[in-house]
Amino acid sequence: MSFNYTIMSTTRSQVIQLYKTLLHLGKDYPTGFEPFRAKLHNAFMRNKDETDPKKIEKQIALGQYIVKEIEALYMLKKYRTLKRRYYEDQ
């Protein structure tokens, strides 16, 4: 029984950390923070009653993939800004 509780608490902390990370990344999202926050909240609320550990792990993996995609989007935006700033159009 305590083993299952440990797994669930670890999973819960992973979900909370993922939510916080995505919320932080949403501050610079191109469409704005509020629409991003609303979509993020709805996505997490849709899956709040999920109890299957395999499905929960799959959703966490998807969330981590989305974090990487958003970070790549921001890096590309920064690269393009720096390129425009230091190199003239040819």
Q: How much is the pLDDT for 86? A: 86
Q: How much is the pLDDT for 1? A: 45
C-alpha of 81 from chain center: 24
- Report the residue count for the chain: 90
Q: How much is the pLDDT for 16? A: 93
Domain ranges of the chain: 2-86
In tens, the pLDDT along 63-81 reads 999 999 999 988 988 888 8
Q: How much is the pLDDT for 4? A: 57
- The identity of residue 21, as a single letter, is T
Please, are residues 29 and 77 in contact by the beta-carbon 8 Å criterion?
A: no
HSE-up (13 A, CA, CB side) for residue 19? 17
Query: Which among 80, 61, 48 is positioned nearest to 69, based on CA atoms?
Result: 61
In tens, the pLDDT along 11-63 reads 889 999 999 999 999 988 888 899 999 999 999 999 888 888 899 999 999 99
Rounded to two decimals, the pTM is 0.77
